[in-house]
Amino acid sequence: MSLTRCFILLLSGLLLTACRVGPKYRTPSTAMTPVYKEPPPDYFKEASVFKEAVPQDALLRGEWWTIFADPCLNELAQQVRVSNQTIAAAEAQYRAARAAIGVARADLFPTVTGGVTAVDARSPSNRVVGQSGVGGSGTFFQMPFLTSYEIDLWGRVRNNISANRDLAEASAADLESIRLSMVAELAADYFQLRGLDLQEELLRASVVSYEQALELTTNRYNQGIASGVDVAQAQTQLETTRAQLIDLGVARAQFEHAIAMLTGRPPAELTIAEVTYVFEPPAIPVGLPSELLQRRPDIAASERRVAAANADIGVAKAAYFPSITLNAAGGTEGSQIANLLQWPSRFWSIGATLAETIFDGGRRKSTVEGTEANYDLTVANYRQTVLTAFQQVEDNLAALRILAQEQTQRNLAISAAQRSLDLTVNRYRGGIASYIDVIVAQNALLENQRTEIIVRTTRMTSSVLLIKALGGVWVK
């Protein structure tokens, strides 16, 4: 009993003094490269009241698409979040990552196995050296229970649990990132489809106008005022515009099919009715803080992978230290099955194993170097993700600012083109201008009108991309 007590006291002391090797984790800075003498600016060029981002992807994003006040978009976005198969795959990956935590945590507990064995065996008569014995054979039954437990002295198991927990959190952030991307892709496709609806409405109105122009030219031709060339030119203008109207149907069908796929349905099951309304992007709040970048799930995922790589270094360094494994066995043994449950048939053993790798040809050293290199890789990826986030916000802030200016100019150009067309038509009716002048004025007006719709559509998609770049929100 004294030996057992000493063993227990020794074991308790080892457990109490157990340490955890490996570097302590600190969130890496976002200073992008050591060649900078100063850290990069903590603001956006397009709005100078920003600060450096720190991952806080747990903050609620909400149903950001509702700020566009479009009932059809709201319904489609809800379907994407429920039925999109890319999101379903990411959810499955997240569940698998959470299950991996349980697998790693199981190493904190002993492993117990049990079973029943039956063995036919014969022992030789000279089995004991220097003594005579009686050999024999027989059938032996055994019902053993084996227990094995490795003491986590150096934190290998705890670091492995931490790494898997960090990877699960990264997987959760990946899931949120995919949700954000899928809904943003839906919204971008939806607004491009609505932009095509506006162009179709414009071309239909142009067709009506060109039909009237053709009728006017034909009447003038019948009266001997206009030439057949004028009629042919008016007919060409009309048919070209009709062809452009038909061509828009191809692009619209493709956007509708893409939206169907995003909602998890075959294209044949989704038809989006044509709706024409003049949409405007939501106003950007003055002084938009870069704290919104803290909600970007891809930044959070990258940071969690850095933490997991840091824990992997601890797992690798633990291999340099000896491992202590406790082993225990017990059960019953007898020559008959009926004897297995009798008290005299019991047996037991308990012991401990101390093992240390003496030579491995540099395996452990290389493993540690590999985990340290992987850590540096994840840090670089994290910093690159932050850089990319800043770039995307800058790009879309600039796009919205510049496109708003362009749309204002396009509206002025449309007004000027309309006045030019009205004057040219009047001059043609008066016999002062040729019909080619009318066609040039018509083309100028139509081109400016279509470009204005394209600019308006691009502003809407840039608004969606800005929301995505900010992690799915406009304001805190």
Question: Regarding the domain with residue range 110-127+136-151+322-355, which homologous superfamily does it belong to in the CATH classification?
Answer: Outer membrane efflux proteins (OEP) (2.20.200.10)
Mean pLDDT along residues 65-81 = 92
pLDDT of residue 16: 47
Question: In whole angstroms, what is the distance from residue 476 CA to residue 471 CA?
Answer: 11
* Averaged pLDDT score across all residues of the chain: 84
Model pLDDT, residue 87: 93
State the pLDDT at residue 324.
Answer: 86
Judged by DSSP in three states, 28 sits in coil
Q: Is the pLDDT of residue 340 over 80?
A: no
Q: Quickly list DSSP for 308-324.
A: HHHHHHHHHHGGGS-EE
* Contact yes or no for 465/184 (Cβ under 8 A): yes
| φ, ψ dihedrals at 334, nearest 5° | -165, 170
For residues 392-431, one letter each, b for 16 or more C-beta atoms within 10 angstroms of the residue's C-beta and e for the rest, the string is: bbeebbebbeebeebbeebeebbeebeebbeebbeebeee
Q: For residue 56, what pLDDT band results from cuts at 50, 70 and 90?
A: low
Q: 128: which DSSP letter?
A: S
How far, in Å, are 249, 351, 405, 457, 461 from residue 396 at the CA level?
29, 67, 14, 14, 9
Predicted local distance difference test score (pLDDT) of residue 9: 46
How much is the average pLDDT of 21-46?
A: 61
What is the tens place of the pLDDT at every residue in 362-378? Answer: 999 999 999 999 999 99
pLDDT band at 286 (very low <50, low <70, confident <90, very high): very low
Sorted by where each begins, the domain ranges of the chain are 32-109+155-321+363-469, 110-127+136-151+322-355
The DSSP line for 140-208 is EEEEEEEEEEEE-SSSHHHHHHHHHHHHHHHHHHHHHHHHHHHHHHHHHHHHHHHHHHHHHHHHHHHHH
Name the band, by pLDDT with cuts 50, 70 and 90, for residue 306.
very high
Condensed to tens digits (0 to 9), the pLDDT of residues 412-460 reads 999 999 999 999 999 998 888 999 999 999 999 999 999 999 999 999 9
pLDDT for res 239: 96
Mean pLDDT calculated for residue range 60-74: 84
If phi > 0 it is left, if psi is from -120 to 50 it is alpha, else beta; for residue 431 that is left
Whether residue 219 is predicted with pLDDT greater than 50 in this model: the reply is: yes
Angular region, 264: left φ>0, alpha ψ -120 to 50, beta rest:
left
For 144, phi then psi, to 5°, come to -95, 155
- CA nearest neighbour of 62 among 475, 414, 461: 475
Task: Say if residue 58's pLDDT is above 80.
Answer: no
Residue-wise pLDDT for 250-285, tens only, equals 999 999 999 999 999 999 999 999 988 888 888 765
Q: Give CATH for domain 32-109+155-321+363-469.
A: 1.20.1600.10
Residue 40 confidence class, pLDDT cut points 50, 70, 90: very low
Q: Rounded distance, CA 234 to CA 212, Å?
A: 10
- 115 burial level (CB within 10 Å; 0-12, 13-18, 19+): exposed
Q: Which CA distances in Å does 222 have to 110, 218, 363, 428?
A: 103, 6, 96, 16
Q: What is the pLDDT of residue 214?
A: 94
- Asked whether residue 14 carries a pLDDT value surpassing 90, the answer given is no
Task: Quickly state the pLDDT bin for 15 (edges 50, 70, 90).
Answer: low
pLDDT value at 39 more than 50: no
| Strand positions, DSSP E, 184-319 | none
More confident residue, 9 or 461: 461
Q: Percent of the chain beyond pLDDT 70?
A: 82
What is the structure's pLDDT at 146?
86
147 torsion bin: left (phi>0), alpha (psi -120 to 50), beta (else): beta
CA angle, 250 then 252 then 257, to 5°: 95
* pLDDT tier at 303, thresholds 50, 70, 90: very high
How does residue 148 score in pLDDT terms, banded at 50, 70 and 90? confident
Token pair listed for 299? 């930044």
Report the pLDDT value the prediction gives residue 98, as an integer from 0 to 100.
94
Greater pLDDT, 37 or 29: 29
pTM for the whole structure: 0.82
Of residues 474 and 46, more confidently modeled: 46
